[in-house]
Amino acid sequence: MVIGKNENAVLTLFILVVISKLTPIIGETRSNCSEGDIWPSDDNCYVYECGNNSQPIRYSKVCPPVPTCLAFGLYYENCCQYCNEKALQNINGDITWNDFETHPCKRNCVSGNTMTCIYSFDISAFLAFNAACNDCPVVKSDCDITNCVPTDGITKLILVANRTIPGPSIEVCAGDTVAVEARNGLISQAIVLHWHGIPQLGTPYADGVPYITQCPTIEEDSYLYIFHAINPGSYFWNSDEGLEKVDGLLGSLIIRQPMDKDPHAALYDTDDNVIFIQNWYHTFSESKLYGWAMSSLSSLSDNFLINGRGRILKRLNSTYEETSTDSAVTDAMPFAEFRIASGSRNRFRIINAGSAICPVAVSVDNHTLTVISADGFDIAPIEVQRIVMNNGERFDVIIQANQPVGNYWIRVKGVQACTSIERQQLAILRYGGSSSDDPTQPTDYYFPSDDEVTLDSTYNDDSSSLELHLTDLQSVKPLEPELSSDQVNNKFYIRLGYSSLFNPAFMASPNSLPKPRQQFNNITFEFPPTCLLTQPDEDHYFYCNEDSLRDQGKNCVQELCTCIHVLRVALNSTVEVILFNGDAIPADNDKTKSAQSAVHLHGYNFRVLGMEKVPGINEEKIRQMDKNGEIKRNFINPIIKDTVNIVQPGYTVIRFNATNAGAWALHGTVQFKYMTGTALLFMVGERSDLPPIPTGLPMCRNFIA
Ligand SMILES: [Cu+2]
């Protein structure tokens, strides 16, 4: 493997590697080198030797041999692979199946004590409410039997990690290293796991976006995700391959911190409650998607689950599954339950891992929610009765057990397009010493009235004067000086809209009406034919954006533009994105229904500088407003998020400092819209800014590439 001229050169090269940390970087080329001079390349991946006529000769660097090492301990430095023996000594158990509750990494966080936390996800197809459920729900405890996966009592095909819904929860401390081995035991589908809200600083190959950061993991194969749990907060993981997330491949990811580091530590006594909200379909997700595309069926969520449980609270009599199943069963299914001690102050982490259309409104009867954190970043506490949150958003709240001992409903209601079908789910807040009965308050969708102080992160403020918006919240972290300037290095206007052009993939016949397809700037995103980050030598496909398509003379309003939508950004430059949305995008086949749409950014946490409703907004108008200084930007402690609603009609302004090299997706948070084109990539930095590609990764390409 060594390309050396003679033994001496090999020895010199070896010494260079050994002392590479001490060798100053000299530069790629030297104008006046003397024959025999040896120096490393800027990226430390090669060694140059000065040859005849001062012509440098490039050699591959000789790395020291890697000792036998578990994959978890391998790391790269200066273009060589090393084994972190210390990390291996501290490894904590290959914990499989349902032992995650007792995982050694789920612990009280103490400063200076970090761990490497290993998890195995066995991903397989499975059946919800299956034969393992015995007499559930008649015998309530049978619903808790391992392998039962009760959901809402409807038997259906699901995709699971370790046979649970939601999937296993990863709970670690800030500073830990997380290693998840995802084993694909599906019969006919690849998988890719994404860690929603984790910026993957320096670990772009672990971000889990198919054909962007990795090849999808095929059947019977596995992929090892290693990343650092840096910022404490509430996150989740999910499959970003197709619609697998919707069918059950998702779970929470909680990063706690030592209490002495938490600015809100004095406000709460307990921190072990997670309210995990997901959409639930009563058929396999793809039959929902194609039912919407090729007939007049609804794609709205059939139900919500809270921590994997719930009942069907309103039957629409519109689907076979709902009308044919035994309502005596589904009406008796157990709700998720949360137990708190009277007088205690409890941190609840509310995670909306939803993937279908409709934001949700979350409230707890008779209790105030003190919001202390949004998307993993602390805010100045604010008291509300209700939080409206879109897919992908997380809010941590404190619930004080200051009411009479008893049981109270936790309500999760689908709003906007889901109001008329009264989609909702309930869970129970039980005080210690209360009965095991259901709460006595009505379960009606319209109870209690909407006249409550509401944090509405969707900015849909036409109902109440009691609404607060994200722009009313304050981060505990002041805005970074480089983001406080009037000027930014990069400014992008991104319009969320939709195309109703001919689209054979979603049409039953050439005569059918095309279904509206969501886009950014009139471009339908297409995933590359090979893996963009890990197969750089095959990067000969065409990227596009609004400018390049215009230069090619394309009119994407008249013809469907489908390509790899890329916005390039220099490393360490500042970025402002003005997201705007003028069209009410039909939420479903019922054109009268629409819902606010959120976007999620990978690789970064961003500041939300402004959100405002502007009727009749379009590209011309937003640019004119910006020119006239009419876009509202708040520079005083704007909150930090990774998922935000695009006000419709109106705009949302975000800023971030592009310090993380990679190809980072910005995408819609309705899964089938993301997978069918509502996405683009921020390409930050150059290839040389990326960490070395891990060795031994699988390759992928299509036949055409
Ligand atoms: Cu994400």
Mean pLDDT, to the nearest integer, of 570-584?
92
Q: Is 562 exposed, middle or buried (0-12, 13-18, 19+ CB in 10 A)?
A: middle
CA of 151 to the centre of ligand 1 (A): 25
pLDDT value at position 352? 98
Cα torsion 13, 533, 189, 185: sign: positive
Cα 666 from Cα 668, distance rounded (Å) = 7
422 CB neighbour count, 10 Å cutoff? 14
Q: Give me the helices (H) in 515-560, please.
A: 546-551
Of residues 607 and 313, the one with the higher pLDDT is 607
> What's the gap in Å between 438 CA and the centre of ligand 1?
36
What is the per-residue pLDDT for 583?
Answer: 74
Half-sphere exposure of 247 (CA within 13 A, CB side): 27
For residues 387 and 361, is the Cβ–Cβ distance under 8 A? Answer: yes
Instruction: Tell me the CA–centroid distance for residue 670 and ligand 1, in Å.
Output: 13
Q: Residues 298, 318: contact at Cβ < 8 Å?
A: yes
Single out the residue of 567, 643, 565 nearest to residue 599, CA to CA: 643
Residue 223 sits at the vertex; the CA angle it makes with 604 and 672, to the nearest 5 degrees, is 60
Distance, CA 280 to ligand 1 centroid (Å)? Answer: 20
Each residue of 253-278: pLDDT tens digit?
A: 999 999 999 999 999 999 999 999 99
Look at residue 414 in the predicted model and tell me its pLDDT. Answer: 92
Res 428: pLDDT: 98
Most confidently predicted of 104-108, 457-461, 480-484:
480-484
Q: Ligand 1 centre and the CA of 2: distance in Å?
A: 41
- pLDDT tens for 521-540 read 999 999 999 999 999 888 77
93 has a pLDDT exceeding 50: no
Distance 64 CA to ligand 1 centre (A): 36
* Range list of H helices, 331-470: none
- The pLDDT value recorded for residue 97 is 39
- 196 CA to middle of ligand 1, Å? 3
User: From ligand 1's centre to the CA of 141, what distance in Å?
Assistant: 36
DSSP 325: S
- Tokens read off for 198: 């984790």
Spacing, Cα 194 to ligand 1 middle (Å): 6
Cα(45)–Cα(516) distance, rounded to whole angstroms? 49
Q: Helix (H, G, I), strand (E, B), or coil: what is residue 113? A: coil
With 60 as the cut, is the pLDDT of residue 387 above it? yes
DSSP string, 143-184: GGSTT---BTS--EEEEEETTBSS-PPEEEETT-EEEEEEEE
Among candidates 264, 198, 262, 195, which has minimal Cα distance to 230? Answer: 198
Q: How far apart are CA 666 and CA 680, in angstroms?
A: 5
What CA–CA distance (Å, rounded) separates 166 from 184? Answer: 17
Write out the two tokens for 302. 């059939």
Q: Which two tokens stand for residue 342?
A: 């009277």
CA-to-CA distance for 57 and 51, rounded, in angstroms?
6
d(CA 378, ligand 1 centre) in Å:
19
pLDDT of amino acid 143:
95
Question: Could you give the strand order of the β-sheet that contains 38-40, starting from the edge strand earlier in sequence?
Answer: 38-40, 46-50, 56-60
Cα 601 to averaged position of ligand 1 atoms, centre (Å):
6
Q: Report the separation in Å between the CA atom of 347 and the middle of ligand 1, taken as the mean of its atom positions.
A: 23
Contact 691/226 with Cβ under 8 angstroms?
no
- Name the amino acid, one letter, at 673: K
Tokens coding 307 = 């921590």
Q: How far is the CA of 63 from the centre of ligand 1 (A)?
A: 35
CA pair distance 488, 187, nearest whole angstrom? 49
Say which residues have a Cβ less than 8 Å from residue 238's Cβ, sequence separation at least 6: 193, 194, 196, 245, 249, 250, 251, 353, 355
Per-residue pLDDT, averaged over 21-32, amounts to: 49
With a cut of 90, say whether residue 577 has pLDDT above it. yes
Residue type, 250: L
- Cα 473 to middle of ligand 1, angstroms: 22
> How far from the centroid of its chain's Cα atoms is residue 510's Cα?
36
- Contact, 599 vs 644, CB < 8 A? yes
pLDDT-derived band at 171 (thresholds 50, 70, 90) equals very high
ipTM: 0.95
User: For residue 671, how far is its CA from the centre of ligand 1 (angstroms)?
Assistant: 12
In this predicted structure, the answer to whether residue 13 has a pLDDT above a threshold of 60 is no
Å from CA of 195 to ligand 1 middle: 6
Q: Nearest CA to 439 among 398, 411, 399?
A: 411
Radius of gyration of the chain (CA): 27
Find the 389 Cα to ligand 1 centroid distance in Å: 16
What is the average per-residue pLDDT within 239-261?
A: 95
Q: The tokens of 295 are what?
A: 């007939």
For 239, the token pair is 């499959």
Q: What is the 3-state secondary structure (H, E, C) of 68-99?
A: CCCHHHEEEECCEEEECHHHHHCEEEEECCCH
pLDDT exceeds 70 at position 462:
no
Q: Report the distance separating Cα 219 and Cα 207, nearest Å.
A: 20
* Gap from CA of 666 to ligand 1 centroid (Å): 9
How close is the Cα of 405 to the center of ligand 1, in Å? 39
Report pLDDT for 3: 29
Distance 197 CA to ligand 1 centre (A): 5
Give the per-residue pLDDT at 536.
87
pLDDT higher than 50, residue 440: yes
* Cβ contact 180:251 at 8 Å: no
H or E element in which residue 362 lies: strand 360-364
CA–centroid distance, 402 to ligand 1, in Å, is 36
Please give the distance, rounded to the nearest whole angstrom, from the Cα atom of residue 203 to the centre of ligand 1.
13
Is residue 7 exposed (0-12), middle (13-18) or buried (19+ Cβ within 10 Å)? Answer: exposed
What tokens does 160 get? 């699971």
Structure tokens at 611: 């959100």
First-to-last C-alpha distance (Å) of the chain = 31
H or E stretch covering 18: helix 7-18
pLDDT at 324: 62
Q: Domains of the chain by range and CATH?
A: 7-60 (no CATH), 81-262 (2.60.40.420), 264-468 (2.60.40.420), 481-689 (2.60.40.420)
What is the C-alpha to C-alpha distance for residues 181 and 179, in angstroms, rounded to an integer?
A: 7
Ligand 1 centroid to 508 CA: how many Å? 33
What percent of the chain is modeled with pLDDT above 70? 87
Mean pLDDT over 670-698 rounds to 90
Residue type, 333: M
CA dist., res. 233 & res. 254, Å (int): 6
Q: How close is the Cα of 198 to the center of ligand 1, in Å?
A: 7
- Residue 615 CA to ligand 1 centre (angstroms): 30
| Encoded tokens for 702 | 């299509």
> Can you spell out the DSSP letters for 195-224?
EET---TT-GGGS--BTTTBPPBPTT-EEE
pLDDT at residue number 26: 44
Nearest to 109 by CA among 307, 261, 218: 261
How far is residue 234's CA from residue 371's CA, in Å, rounded to a whole number? 13
Q: What are phi and psi of 303, to 5 degrees?
A: -165, 170
254-258, 291-295, 431-435: the lowest-pLDDT one: 291-295
Segment among 174-183, 308-317, 491-500 with least mean pLDDT: 308-317
DSSP string for 183-196:
EE--SS--B-EEEE
pLDDT of residue 446: 87
Q: Angle at Cα 420 formed by Cα 419 and Cα 426, nearest 5°? A: 50
State the distance from the centre of ligand 1 to the C-alpha of 144, rounded, in angstroms: 31
Q: What is the 3-state secondary structure (H, E, C) of 565-632?
A: EEEEECCCEEEEEEEEECCCCECCCCCCCECCEEEEECCCCEEEEEEEECCCCCHHHHHHHHHCCCCC
In the predicted model, what is the mean pLDDT of the chain?
87
Instruction: State in Å: Cα 600 to ligand 1 middle.
Output: 6
Phi-psi group of 607: left, alpha or beta (phi > 0 → left; psi -120 to 50 → alpha; rest → beta)? beta
Tell me the mean pLDDT in the region 665-684.
Answer: 92
Q: Are 599 and 643 in contact (CB under 8 A)?
A: yes
Per-residue pLDDT for 602 more than 60?
yes
Structure-derived torsion over alpha carbons of residues 626, 629, 632, 635, reported in degrees to the nearest 10: 110
pLDDT at 626 over 90: yes
